[in-house]
Structure 1
Amino acid sequence: MTGARALLEELRERDVRLEADGLMLHVDAPAEADTDELRAALREHKRALIRHLERERRRLEEADRWGLVIKWAKEPGYVAIHDPTTGEWHEVPASGCPPWMLDDAKVHHRHRKEKGASG
């Protein structure tokens, strides 16, 4: 699986775009990148690339459903921010956050407390 991930990163650096559609792998590549070597690598890693692209797509769809979430992190003095474009969580010092972010974190914290009290 590491081979597919590394190949995908390399292809993206070369502006080669891949899209999984069921068992099909659609390739959009600049003319200079469309080589016999590229075609052989795609054939060799097709199944792993499709699996990786599908996992990536599902992860991004889930991230999009979550949207932007701002809450207090477990680490005191930090805010956790969910990035809806990548699905990743980032922790940043609260001291560097604009007031609206801290307000959102407080609202999220208050809603969790209320939910816990009523549940």
Structure 2
Amino acid sequence: MKPLMYGYLRATVAPGDEEAERLERRLHELAEQEGFCFAATFRENRPGERGALSELTAELRRAEARHVVVPSLEHISRHPRVRDELLEQLREEVGAHVWTADRTVSPVCRL
């Protein structure tokens, strides 16, 4: 059985928007290419919200999953300090590894 991977994105567009759908498809494709079973995408729709991130954390804990893929680290937060704190929270609370689908250099794994 393949390990589970969940997607997370911060989209300021309405569900069903082509850009958001394209990003979600990309996360799914990358997870599959790397040998994961893509489970679901958690999406924040408004700036400053963290409800979906909390739901993702709860789901990771419930499913005993450890992998999250994001389009870029900016989807965690645009603010470097907040982003680092949230990444650390994911690592500490559920042992999550956050993968990025972009080509930027980051302190986390990249696909």
Give the structure, 1 or 2, with the largest relative contact order (CA under 8 Å, sep 6 or more). Answer: 2
TM-score scaled by length of structure 2: 0.21
TM-score scaled by length of structure 1: 0.20
